[in-house]
Each structure stands twice: as C-alpha cells, then as structure tokens.
Structure 1
Amino acid sequence: MKTTPSQLRILSIDIGGSSVKATILDSKGDLTMDYQKIATPKPANPDNIIKAIKTLVKNYPPYDRVSVGFPGYVRNGIVKTAPNLGTDFWADVDFRKRLTEELGQDTQVVNDADMQGLGVVKGKGLEMVITLGTGFGTALLMDGHLLPHLEVSHHPVSKGRDYDEYIGDRALDEIGEKKWNRRIRKVFQILKTVFNYDYLYIGGGNSDLLDFKLDKNMKIVTNADGIKGGARLWQEDKHPVTHVAMATPTK
C-alpha cells in the first residue's frame, strides 16, 4: 500500500559535535516519539558517524524518509566542510547518497542550523537562526524559504579570529561566561547591522548562558524545536533551494 504525503514518517537526525540526536516526525513535524541521542564518536569520520546513527535508530519504528542536519557546509547532500568533525574526513563526501544506501530510504542532508531554522521560524519576512554550541551556526530564511547557506562562522570577527574561535565552546572555556557574554553582545550588534533581520532565533546548548535581556524580536529556541525542521525539508514546493532529486535506495 502506497504511503500518502500526510502519512509520511520522517526520521530526523541532528549531528552535533558532542552528540547525535534522532526522532521520528509525522508529516506536520510533530514528534511521534521522544528524541534520543548517542555520543558523537571519535574520530567523527563518515564511517563512525553512520555506525552511530544505525546503532541509535536500530529499534526505531519504521520510517519513510530521512532528514539530516549536519554541522558544516552542505550542497546537494555533498559535504564541503565539517570544522567540528574534521573537514579532512568529510570534504566532498556524498553523505546523502551514503545514508540513502545505508538506511534504505530517501535522504536529505542540509546544514544543521538550516534544518533548525525550518523548524522554528514563523515564515514571515527575513528571519535568522543562530546556534551557540561547539561552534557558531547560522541560517537565513525569507518568508519561510531557506536561502543559500553562508558559513558566517568562518568570517573574521576580531583580531583574525572567526566566530567559531571567538564565541564557540573553546572560547567559552578559556574566558568564562562573563566575558563570553560581552562578546555575544558584540556579535548580536554585528548581526543586527549586517543582516537587518526581522526576527532572530537563538539555539544551541550555550544559549542558556545568556545573561542579558534580549530585544523584542529575539527568542531562544530549543533543539527539540529545531529537529522538527526535518519534516519541512520534504515540502519540495515550499523549499526548492533544499530539494534535490533523490537517489534510489540500494536493496
């Protein structure tokens, strides 16, 4: 019996520097089960990440599609950079094809902040999503549509340091929360000036450490909210930037 679009079950996976999380969504993006996680393997090369994903979802209910948020630059499912996992491992890996073959269902892979953005935005005007975690993730959407991904995290921001180096986990550990928050204030002012967004959403594990009042058009969001974006990747009529022809699963 053929599955209709409204009956689709989507395995939604979020790959991070410290853990790999997954759940199954319905076609509207609602969770059909609590998301579970497994530690990101070291080294975090493609074989080890795929092995971790297969271990994590081994006892999951059946699913029809797979959506993956990946911490790096991804174009048409092919990884270009993966600074927090190891670009040397990942450069030019067709991760969409490999996962389609390994999991047996059509797969889409996008930057993790892009997928989170699809899950949290209102769909009105220019909305920006950032993630404060191992590194600094960004996504831009116009009226709910993903715009081409920009690796803002690797743009120099201070004394030759990029955003990852300036406000990522390593910087937080080195300088402490008080100084880190001062840097975050500076970054927020830069983002406001450069992008002139209508709304800014702030995700990632370190968003809980912000110690100052946010503007009215800024909001902290959770990883659980972000993983819901996995369902919206499959609405090809709404998201032509992300949708590509699917590979046929290997039997």
Structure 2
Amino acid sequence: YPIIRFKGQNRIRKVSYHLSLNGEEISDIHSINKSDLPPSADDNFNPHLLSPTISELWDTLSLLTSNYDEVIGIFSSAAISPMYNIAQKAAAKLEANARIHIIDSRTSSVGLSILVMQAAIQAEKGESSKTIIQNLYTKIPQIFTLFNIPSLSYLYYNNLIDRSQAFVGEKLELLPYFVIEEDDFITTDKMRNDRHITDYFLEFLNEFENVEFVSFLHSTVLNSQASKLIRELVKHKFPDAEFFEHKIPITLAILFGPKCQGMIVVDNEVL
C-alpha cells in the first residue's frame, strides 16, 4: 500500500464506525477480519456498520471546537451512510455550530481520503475555511466512484437495498455495478463473469478525458491481472495520472461484502 505523508496530516481527526454482528454492538470494528466474512450474509451471520450516535458526535465536535477556531467535517456519501446526517444534527445542537461545517463527500474510501487530504493541506497553508470549503465543492464533482458488488446480501443488512432484490440477485449470480451519483446509490449494469467485470472497469475509465488519479480497490492479491490491465490503460491514455491499488478496508468489506471491487477516478475535465 502506498504510505502518503503530507503537511497538515496532524490536523485530521478520524470518526470511526462501530460494528453490529448478529444484533450485538462491537465498538472495535477491527476486531473482525475480512477473512472472517462469508461470501453472503444471512440471518445467522450479518455484520453491518453502525454510525456513531448524535451524542457521540456531539462530544467529538464539542471537543474539537474547544481546541480549534473552526471544524470542517467531511463524511462518506449520505447515499451509503447515515453519518453525514447524524453529524449535521449533532452540530446543530452545539452553541458553536456556526464554526462547524459538515460536508457530504458524495464518495467513500479513497475518494473521501482525497478530499480530506486536500482540506488538511490547505488548512496547513493558512487558507480560510471559506476557501477550503469552496475548493472541496469544486473537487467533489470531479470524483467518480464505481463498485462491483456480487454480495448483495451485505447491502440488504446495511439497509441499502431490499431483501428480495438482494437474495434474488445472489441466487441468479448477478455481478452488479453501483455508482454514487449525487445523493443516490444506484445500479448501472450487471455482469455475468469476472472477465466482464474487468472489461467494465476499463470501459468506465475510457470514458474520461483528463484523469488526475485512479485507484483500484479489490479483495484479491495485489498486482492481479485486472490491476495490470487497468495500470496499462492509465499509463497509455493518462501518462501524467497517478495510479494506486488497494485491498478493500474492513469497513467496505462489511458494507459491500468481501468480494467487492471498486474504482475511484478523479477527472479534472469536469467543471
């Protein structure tokens, strides 16, 4: 994994999810390994993410506003997580709410990290919160997020699709793609085999014109055949773009299932 260090990194404070496993809340989400997750969730084993409560986020924001002049909270897309809406409610209850800015990233994982890093670097340079927020809202539409999710049952237990859609889709062995598009988490196409999955990622990438950054997330070994093909396309079509591959983090594995794959693209052509 690439280890990226940057000025302003010390300004970042992470808000973590909790884990619910078969109805039992577990505060340390890393107490479960990706290898513990079965291909499908069911009534006997159904991990899902729990966002912090309003009270917990109130405590976090209260502490931050007592130590800093202003706080910018950037959260995973509200289309896949309630944490953004919970943070808004928590901020509204604070007397210092005028100094708190809650932002829906409209992405997740690496896409979220890109926005957080940008904000932290600009804060370290002394940019005003107004400028930082304006630049975030410029960058957000430039980030495109695509996931292939064969384990639809995980989406059901995380309240993202209904039960019949999840279990019929898994029974038919569909391999659907989902995108985060503004306020929605929507399916685009359904594949039938792994080769078509890779082809779709390549077609998705080919739609862009001025790519700055590409991240390929997956659950297999690093430098797989799929990642090699994607890397070659980036090198050929976007020679100045950065390419990284990552194994999916435990949060995504619990949310989308252990077999999910994803691509994050930053395209500067979008204004």
- What range is the shorter-chain TM-score in? 0.3 to 0.5
Task: Name the larger-Rg structure.
Answer: 2
TM-score by length of 1: 0.39
When normalised by structure 2's length, the TM-score is: 0.37
